[in-house]
Amino acid sequence: MAAAVLIEEGADSGGKLLKRQVVESPYRHKKPCLYNTFKFLLLLSTAIIILTCTLSSNSQSWWESIAEQKHGFVTGLPLFTPPPSYHDQTSQRINNETKWNEIHTTTVNPYHLAYPRNYHFIMDHTEVCKAKAPFLVLMVAVATSDTSARDAIRRTWGNETLVQGELVKTLFLLGLPGGDDAEQKQQKLRAENLLYNDLIQSNFMDTYLNLTIKTMVIMDWLATHCPGAAYAMKIDADMFLNVDNLVIMLKKPGIPKQNYLTGMLMRNRDVVRFKDSKWYVSEELFPDPVYPTYALGMGYVFSNDLTEKFVQASKAIKPFNIEDAYIGMCMKNLGLAPMSPPDPSQFKAYNTRYNRCEFSQVITYILGSSQQLVKYWTDFKKPGSPC
């Protein structure tokens, strides 16, 4: 679906073809010069009328197109059509940091900004789940520029492919790079993907404010490209992940295989109304003062059957920029709720210091840098008992 109004070529811009009638004057034989002058003026007037209508209609269509694009952009990219070139994107990126509470949907757009099928995949790896469906897919939400984070993950927990006898896949989800050198950045991403074959990219702008879009695109990719996977995890790029402990948890007898979502649960969390906060959400976008229970976005696990349900639920949920709380709203819309993990202490946020024994018992930890991840992982994986 195109964001701009389309005008059928060959049709009159006014909507109907103008018909000309040749009116013969009774005096045409007596005064040919006068008749020819009259005929010329009539033709000239008709041409002017047609030209005026065409310009007026084209001008109107152009302004309608601009108006539609303004309402259809979250960061300067049309919702329904991919950008034709990076040169054309330069002027479109002016609204790159537009606040979500300043964005409005229109009747032109049947879905809103968080509906992932408004976008399309540039790099999608349709083959990654064809040979054998993985037991677990780790979907890393990472910035396009954060090459060091991707490299660190590839050297550590992202390199774990067979865990507890189960196939595990790690993939990185990206949007489009911004800035004047966006085309050069994109070329580097293509080269990186040729080397590692683990990047998935969609045509939304990759910004912090677009994390909800990024998360929903993750759900769409899992639903359409890897539906046979048993479980998936959305995880941030600054995380330590003990994949062994995660797979062990998922293979416990009591873990549901459907409608399951777990992680570090946030209950009765107030919506931040302070406009200076990065977590600010206006009452217009989310009128309730408290979020429904949700799993913290650092890393939450879910049965893969939920992904298509999330995509469909997003049609009915007004988008806002707190991605993990938005998934909580999707769960609520589906009549579901996140479940506490068997051992909640395994999903941890920040740690004050590294302890090999402790890291052997957790599933997640937020780290300070990619260098820290490599350093901790190297020690964590060395031979010998961790405790």
Q: pLDDT tens per residue, the chain (387 residues)?
A: 333 323 233 333 333 333 333 333 333 344 445 555 555 555 666 555 555 544 444 433 333 332 333 223 333 333 333 333 333 333 333 233 334 444 433 333 344 778 888 888 999 877 888 888 999 999 999 999 999 999 999 999 999 999 999 999 999 999 999 888 999 999 999 999 999 999 999 998 899 889 999 999 999 999 999 999 999 999 999 999 999 999 999 999 999 999 999 999 999 999 999 999 989 999 999 999 999 999 999 999 999 999 999 999 999 898 898 999 999 999 999 999 999 999 999 999 987 789 999 999 999 999 999 999 999 999 999 999 999
Which structure tokens are listed for 187? 């070329």
Q: Is the domain of 245 the same as that of 156?
A: yes
Q: Element (H or E) spanning 153, and its range? A: helix 147-155
Q: Is the domain of 130 the same as that of 186?
A: yes
| Total number of domains constituting the chain | 2
Q: Is the domain of 65 the same as that of 121?
A: no
Q: Is the domain of 28 the same as that of 133?
A: no
Give the single-character DSSP code of 37: H
pLDDT at 11: 36
Cβ burial, residue 127 (10 Å; 0-12/13-18/19+): exposed
Q: Is 365 in a helix, a strand, or coil?
A: strand
Q: Is 43 in a helix, a strand, or coil?
A: helix
Structural domain harbouring 39: 24-72
Q: Does residue 353 form part of some domain?
A: no
Q: Is the domain of 282 the same as that of 223?
A: yes
Q: Is the domain of 230 the same as that of 308?
A: yes
272 touches 280 (CB < 8 A): yes
Please provide the size of the chain in residues: 387
177 touches 185 (CB < 8 A): yes
Angle, vertex CA 313, rays to CA 131 and CA 5, nearest 5: 95
Which structure tokens are listed for 133? 């469906």
Q: How far apart are CA 24 and CA 37, in angstroms?
A: 13
Q: How far apart are CA 51 and CA 159, in angstroms?
A: 65
Closest CA to 237 of 115, 354, 364, 323: 364
Which structure tokens are listed for 230? 């048993």
3-state percent breakdown (helix, strand, coil) of the chain, nearest 5: 40, 15, 45
Cα 198 to Cα 171, 186, 195, 287, distances in angstroms: 5, 15, 9, 39
Q: Does residue 357 form part of some domain?
A: no
Q: Is the domain of 42 the same as that of 178?
A: no
Give the single-character DSSP code of 224: H
pLDDT at 70: 27
69 touches 51 (CB < 8 A): no
Q: Does residue 329 form part of some domain?
A: yes
14 touches 57 (CB < 8 A): yes
Q: Does residue 109 form part of some domain?
A: no
Q: Is the domain of 155 the same as that of 228?
A: yes
Q: Is the domain of 126 the same as that of 63?
A: no
Q: How far apart are CA 135 and CA 251, in angstroms?
A: 10
pLDDT at 266: 96
Q: Does residue 251 form part of some domain?
A: yes
Write out the DSSP string of 48-75. HHHHHHHHHHHHHHHHHHHHHHHHH-SS
Q: Element (H or E) spanning 329, and its range? A: helix 323-333
Q: Element (H or E) spanning 301, and its range? A: strand 299-303
Number of helices (H) and strands (E) in the chain: give both, helices first: 10, 13
Q: Is the domain of 121 the same as that of 68?
A: no
Q: How far apart are CA 9 and CA 32, in angstroms?
A: 39
Strand runs labelled E in 39-180: 121-123, 136-141, 162-163, 166-176
* Cα 291 versus chain centre, distance: 22
Q: Does residue 92 form part of some domain?
A: no
Cβ partners under 8 Å of residue 6, min gap 6: none
Q: Is 302 in a helix, a strand, or coil?
A: strand
Q: How far apart are CA 176 and CA 189, in angstroms?
A: 10
Q: Is the domain of 199 the same as that of 269?
A: yes
Residue 157 sits in a domain whose CATH number is 3.90.550
pLDDT at 351: 78
Closest CA to 230 of 211, 208, 256, 199: 256
Q: How far apart are CA 82 and CA 85, in angstroms?
A: 9
pLDDT at 251: 97
Q: Is the domain of 139 the same as that of 195?
A: yes
Which structure tokens are listed for 147? 């090459």
* Cα 31 versus chain centre, distance: 73
Q: Does residue 102 form part of some domain?
A: no
Q: Does residue 145 form part of some domain?
A: yes
361 touches 346 (CB < 8 A): yes
